[in-house]
Amino acid sequence: MNDLEKTQQKIETLRAEIERHNRLYYLDAASEITDREYDQLLQSLEKLETQFPEFSTPTSPTQRVGGAPLDRFDSARHAVPMMSLSNTYSKEEVTEFKRRIHKLIPAESFNYILEPKIDGVAISLRYENGDLVLAVTRGDGTTGDDVTSNVRTIPSIPLRLADLMPPAVLEVRGEIYMDIAGFASLNEQRQEAGLEPFANPRNACAGSLKLLDPREVAQRPLDAIFYATGQLDGVSFETHEQMLLSLKNYGLRSTPTYWLSEKIEEIIDRLDELENMRHEFPFEMDGGVIKVNERRLYEKLGYTAKSPRWAVAYKYEPEQAETTLHAISIQVGRTGVLTPVAELEPVQLAGTTVKRATLHNEDEIRRKGIKIGDRVILEKAGEIIPAIVKVLTEKRTGVELEFTMPTTCPACGSETEKRAGEVALRCINLQCPAQVKSWIAHYASRGAMDISGLGEALVIQLVDSGLVKNPAELYALKKSRCSG
């Protein structure tokens, strides 16, 4: 082997090693190396690829975010149409689904398989000889947007399948979603930046996929789960379960849990069990999907104009609670943004007691017609952030009060301003104690400097006593002054 061949081999080995660590991290949640070691591997690969550009390839792990922003998305035709599911809202309708199937294939014996219905954005990925070549949104089912460069930035999606003998064509279909915790911090950031927050993780996900600059998409906490196939060439699966397991072997994430049974009654019972698991998933689940497990029966059962006859969705109700809005308080954030917060009569919702809910900004309060004293319906957007989704105007007694944002900052009395292009109101005083407190608390938080022991209570004391006016002053604190 000459030197050049050795280099090429080294590059290939590094890539395979990085891809393996990716899978360990994203699929198995069992990393063998630290983030730092991972970065070092990636850097060595980057260095070699810069030195030997003849060996660079678009499927290298260094090439997730590449190229300039797009002007617009091209449209792409689906090799096999992307269908939808028919919905059911009662268990009786699920039994009806079973009866229809038995009428069509009375002599067959088969299993049902139940899996979560992920509330995200449908996507179809196309791998040719193991390489990711195309990612297309559902669109009208026949043609969608080519969002390949955005989808490539999603770290859990392999650019190359983990198989030495990959099929000529493997199209997988699934859902791109925004991680619930990631959604919460993205909205917080947007609010701090004076931008309109997203209503829920699905909107945030759809909005992210529509961004024209993949570098921006790479900053969004997106992930994906796959549960169906499109065109296949050089591979076939006997059952849905076998397909799910194979996807995992290819390095593609599939549904985190499923149930198999030949009895629909048992599957119906599992629907409640699945619903109770709602908060254990990192995505929003809006139902369960019941499918026939044996793929050979798909063609026999056939399709309606929009959906297959071998599958059905059972939709869960969104979790809601009714309560009273006692007051609207104002929070001043790190960048001075004034955020109205609903102070509520405590109520149980999705397993926690909710006392406060963000109202985002004044426009939102107007849009929803919220008044102080109203009876309101709460829902958890992103399962963790409670939001007021509706006002029960029929329950008004006439004592409810219109809310207006203060013209001055409630923390320091300074003037507020609305910057061009922003929805938020800001306090203009950089020394505003509320701003300083959130600034320091943010600086000390786990995502930033991670200063242990510097919690909210201590930050309040330090700022109120005048000892600290900015993060730099934390380092000038003397022991005697702290304790004295």
Residue 173 CB, nearest approach to ligand IVH (Å): 6
Contact assessment for residue 114 and residue 259, using Cβ atoms and an 8 Å cutoff:
yes
Tokens found for residue 291: 């499918």
Q: Which is nearer to ligand IVH, 113 or 186 (CB)?
A: 113
Q: Please identify which of the residues 10, 117, 263, 371 carries the catalytic annotation.
A: 117
Q: Which is nearer to ligand IVH, 45 or 114 (CB)?
A: 114
In total, the chain counts a number of residues equal to: 484
Q: Which is nearer to ligand IVH, 48 or 311 (CB)?
A: 311
Residue 239 CB, nearest approach to ligand IVH (Å): 15
- Planar angle of CA 386, 122, 243, nearest 5 degrees: 115
Which residue's Cβ lies closest to ligand IVH?
A: 122
Q: Which is nearer to ligand IVH, 115 or 179 (CB)?
A: 115
Residue 316 CB, nearest approach to ligand IVH (Å): 12
Long-range contacts of 363-372 (CB under 8 A, 24+ apart): 363/423, 365/328, 365/340, 365/403, 369/393, 370/325, 370/342, 370/403, 371/325, 371/396, 371/400, 371/401, 371/402, 371/403, 372/325, 372/326, 372/327, 372/328, 372/400, 372/401, 372/402, 372/403
Q: Which is nearer to ligand IVH, 118 or 444 (CB)?
A: 118
Helices (H) and strands (E) in the chain, counts: 14, 18
Residue 307 CB, nearest approach to ligand IVH (Å): 7
Residue 303 CB, nearest approach to ligand IVH (Å): 8
Phi, psi for residue 409 in degrees, rounded to 5? -70, 125
Burial code (b: 16+ CB inside 10 Å, e: under 16) for 74-89 equals eebebeeebbebeebe
> What is the secondary structure of 281-311 as a DSSP string?
SSS-EEEEEEEESBGGGHHHH-B-SSSBTTE
Contacting residues toward ligand IVH, per CB under 6 A: 83-85, 115, 117-118, 122, 175, 227-228, 255, 289, 308, 311, 313
Asked about 248 being catalytic, the answer comes back as no
Tokens found for residue 52: 């030997």
Residues with active-site annotation: 117
